[in-house]
Structure 1
Amino acid sequence: MSLPALLSTDGLHDAYVLAVFATVYLGMILGGLPKLHLDRTGVALLGAIAIVGAEVMTPEAAARAIHLPTILLLFSFMVISAQMRLGGFYGAVTRRIAALPLGPAGLMGVVIAVAAALSAVFSNDIVCLAVAPVLAEACLRRRLDPVPFLLGLACASNIGSAATLIGNPQNMLIGEVLKMPFAGYALQAIGPVVVGLLALWALLAVSMRRTPPVAEPDPAQLAAVVAEGPPFDRWQTAKGLAVALALVGVFLFTDWPRDVAALAGAGVLLLSQRFHSSKVMGLIDWELLILFMGLFVVNHALEQTGLTRQAVAWLGAQGVDLADPATLFVAILGLSNLVSNVPAVMVLMPLANTGSGEHVGVTLALVSTMAGNLLIVGSIANIIVVDAAARCGITIDWRRHARTGVPVTLVTLAVVAGWLALG
């Protein structure tokens, strides 16, 4: 007897879908499945295959479950970020910052401000990937401890990305699914983001006062640290910046669908005489796109069973209302640090959507992004910076990260809570 036949009764069908969902999100928590060479992307893809293979959903229904506008917007901004990276923009900006005649606290302030501004428009993950090795080299040349600056880069990119609906993947998802206005969200988010960045700078500036200068690096160490990045190309950088700024203008002042506008901008950048399309495509984070698509299918399959509605009703009967701001705040904070922020948002958005869409969207976006600074595994940006530091011979373990990440997260979340309460 085939598996679809065995699942013919509603009880077995629902139990199978719940088992697939639970297995996938266990993989999100653990970063993979025990004794299998699967990361989070592989687990999400396997979950979608299990749903389609058991005919819980047809391939056509699974395709419809994927929110295409979110995927297109995410892909398009990956193309734009790839253009900026190939044009050597990030490395050139970092070297220019490092050459500024500023003390450690002033230099930290500029690093935080620039990282946050870039992350609000471009992918915060790409910003960290391109800037981290260059920043580490610059700190060693100036005999500054690179660890506070690298942690400042990671935290600032996370906080800054919360300022817009294109700053990180979960914000793109929230904005597209809940149809949130770009300008309206930015006006609500800019206050806690700016205050959070100032708090980050104050915390790091105080900690750096107790940090002595590092020893003069030897040439061999610098040779190991310096990144072989692409040379700065003024024209290619200008083209990428022009497209990005034009898109921001479109998002702010027109009602043109964001995914269509971004896709058109990506198409303009692919028309290049300098960069082969294969180079651009090689910098696309295909794993993140597949992660999104797999989770869309698994989450939609669970939603179709009605179990999520039953869970919301049961929680409501117990006095737990997920549309309540305080409850939603706690739920997204806890889940973001359990399964990471993107899967957390995908789970909570339909559950909490019984209230005001805009209120839910702002809370989900701000809290899930700020919570990413708590631990290394809280966001991809943290992992990228820690891995880049390790390749440069600089150790940032979870204890060292937590000494900065925990207070930064607590302060920024307190700012967000106060801001939402006033709003």
Structure 2
Amino acid sequence: MTATIVTVFALVYLGMILGGLPFLQLDRTGVALLGAIALIGLDAVSLQDAVAAVHLPTVILLFAFMVVSAQMRLGGFYSWITRGMAALPVSPPRLLGLLILLAGALSAVFSNDIVCLAMAPVLAEACVRRRLNPVPFLLGLACAANIGSAATLIGNPQNILIGQTLQLSFSGYLLQASVPVLLGLAACWAIIVWQSRDNWVGDAQQAPLPEQRSSDEQPLDRWQTIKGLAVASALLGLFLFSPLPHEQLALAGAGLLLMSRKLHSARMLGLVDWEVLVLFAGLFIVNHALQGTGLPAEAVQWLAVQGVQLSEPWTLFGTTFVLSNIISNVPAVMLLLPVAQHELAGSMLALVSTLAGNLLIVGSIANILVVDAAARHGVRIDWRRHARTGVPVTLATLLICAAIFALRL
């Protein structure tokens, strides 16, 4: 049975690397789900063990904040604040700075993917209307969303997983992450400004767009926006100062938002990223099955004999960066959580796995969403153009991170 489990695990993580499997119409979520189904169907994992393997607090917290983000999107908050910012009479470098701060702050509380999905189309239209080159601003949005989401334990799926599994202090992590995140946002702004110093103006031949809304853009609903902000603010306050379980608090907040006289629950739940939740469940089961074979523990011991201590901070730092760009950050974090034993391991895993997502387009869903939105508005950002900004931003932010961890160590 061990051979079966190893084979399924290898195929699942090959799918994580390739983004799917050859000859099959599967994405990463489909591969993870199929792997879990195969293990249960072949009786390599019992149904009871499969259910127990799924870390329910992580899934619940992730779901709850997806509902909060859906509330903000349906209330038109993201579109409204993006349009307002883009209309400010400031120079392009200052506008980029405001965008980076805004995207970073929003992504620290709401999902970075949702922030990019909602803001990117509005931002692209606003840049064309102002005769500005949209590329620096769209790249700034993607990079800032990734960096900002590293600031809290609710900013992205992998941070939620790390915080819930290692039982990290919400306020303690926020204190540790705030400095590298703020410095990282500043470095992101400086790099893009330097690269765009002679390229702020858009295509002079392109006529400005008429003042109209996209078909999927929601008008501002002040009451729904205020309600969403109130619940999000209350949850942040409780996370900082209350000892109550975060997943229970977040689930109660999501329940309050679902009790609406105006927004139908089907619309709210329709914006929940169910694929991410299924991806988590599938990977939980696949990793649990492999852990049960004892092979990961043997591999860690063998590496230790060879002089490679995965639990050591700098080895963990480098391994997290490499794996996050090979198999994506969530699968990488799941693999490395068992060796996250140092007192700084949790914050290191969260920061490095998130910041590594800026390296390439495929390193983060937020990057893909921004590039796709740009393409729909006639703005082409290929992997070379993204890498021209993403690589130096990633290296700069990781260098800042490394310097701060070196001081703490």
**Structure 2 length normalisation: TM-score?**
0.98
Please give the alpha-carbon distance, in whole angstroms, between the structure 2 residues aligned to 1:108 and 1:326: 33
Q: Match for 2:195: what amino acid?
A: S
Equivalent of 1:154 in 142, 149, 171: 142
Q: Match for 2:56: what amino acid?
A: L
Question: Could you say which residue in structure 1 is the equivalent of 2:13?
Answer: 25
Q: Match for 1:400: what amino acid?
A: R
- C-alpha distance after superposition, 1:178-226 (max 9, x if no partner): 0000000000000100000000011111122120512346559668994
Equivalences for 1:297-316 in 2 at 5 Å?
297-316=285-304
Q: Match for 1:311: what amino acid?
A: A
Equivalent of 2:246 in 240, 258, 274: 258
**1:144–1:219 Cα change, 3 Å:** closer
Residue pair 1:371, 1:409 contacting (<8 A) in 2 also: yes
Question: Could you say which residue in structure 2 is the equivalent of 1:386?
Answer: 371
Question: Could you say which residue in structure 1 is the equivalent of 2:272?
Answer: 284
Question: Could you say which residue in structure 1 is the equivalent of 2:380?
Answer: 395
2:399 is equivalent to residue 414 of structure 1: yes
Report the Cα offset of residue 324 of structure 1: 0.6
Q: Match for 1:80: what amino acid?
A: V
2:58 is equivalent to residue 70 of structure 1: yes
- C-alpha distance after superposition, 1:113-142 (max 9, x if no partner): 000000000000000000000000111111
Q: Match for 1:415: what amino acid?
A: I
Residue pair 1:372, 1:378 contacting (<8 A) in 2 also: yes
Question: Could you say which residue in structure 2 is the equivalent of 1:348?
Answer: 336
Report the Cα offset of residue 359 of structure 1: 1.4
2:347 is equivalent to residue 362 of structure 1: yes
2:152 is equivalent to residue 167 of structure 1: no
Question: Over the residues paired in the alignment, what is the CA RMSD in angstroms?
Answer: 1.3
- C-alpha distance after superposition, 1:377-420 (max 9, x if no partner): 00110011001111111100000000000000000000000111
Residue pair 1:140, 1:217 contacting (<8 A) in 2 also: no
- C-alpha distance after superposition, 1:241-270 (max 9, x if no partner): 000000000000011100000000000000
Q: Secondary structure at the match of 1:320?
A: coil
- C-alpha distance after superposition, 1:93-117 (max 9, x if no partner): 0011011110000000000000000
Q: Secondary structure at the match of 2:143?
A: helix
2:96 is equivalent to residue 108 of structure 1: yes
Q: Match for 2:230: what amino acid?
A: A
Q: Match for 1:26: what amino acid?
A: L
Residue pair 1:17, 1:301 contacting (<8 A) in 2 also: yes
Question: Could you say which residue in structure 2 is the equivalent of 1:6?
Answer: none
Residue pair 1:143, 1:217 contacting (<8 A) in 2 also: no
Report the Cα offset of residue 57 of structure 1: 1.3
Please give the alpha-carbon distance, in whole angstroms, between the structure 2 residues aligned to 1:219 and 1:337: 39
Report the Cα offset of residue 228 of structure 1: 3.9
Residue pair 1:137, 1:226 contacting (<8 A) in 2 also: no
Q: Match for 1:100: what amino acid?
A: L
Equivalences for 1:1-400 in 2 at 5 Å?
13-216=1-204, 218=206, 226=214, 228-350=216-338, 352-353=339-340, 355-356=341-342, 358-400=343-385
Q: Match for 1:176: what amino acid?
A: Q
- C-alpha distance after superposition, 1:14-57 (max 9, x if no partner): 11111100000000000000010011000000000011011111
Residue pair 1:134, 1:227 contacting (<8 A) in 2 also: no
Residue pair 2:29, 2:278 contacting (<8 A) in 1 also: yes
Residue pair 1:81, 1:123 contacting (<8 A) in 2 also: yes
Please give the alpha-carbon distance, in whole angstroms, between the structure 1 residues aligned to 2:105 and 2:145: 8
Please give the alpha-carbon distance, in whole angstroms, between the structure 2 residues aligned to 1:147 and 1:225: 21
**1:407–1:222 Cα change, 3 Å:** farther
Please give the alpha-carbon distance, in whole angstroms, between the structure 1 residues aligned to 2:243 and 2:256: 20
**1:392–1:224 Cα change, 3 Å:** farther
Please give the alpha-carbon distance, in whole angstroms, between the structure 2 residues aligned to 1:153 and 1:212: 15
Q: Secondary structure at the match of 2:344?
A: helix
Q: Secondary structure at the match of 1:176?
A: helix
**1:296–1:217 Cα change, 3 Å:** farther
Question: Could you say which residue in structure 2 is the equivalent of 1:5?
Answer: none
Q: Secondary structure at the match of 2:148?
A: helix
Please give the alpha-carbon distance, in whole angstroms, between the structure 2 residues aligned to 1:228 and 1:292: 28
Please give the alpha-carbon distance, in whole angstroms, between the structure 1 residues aligned to 2:283 and 2:29: 9
Q: How many residues align?
A: 408
Unaligned runs of 5+ in 2: none
Please give the alpha-carbon distance, in whole angstroms, between the structure 2 residues aligned to 1:153 and 1:308: 38
**Structure 1 length normalisation: TM-score?**
0.95
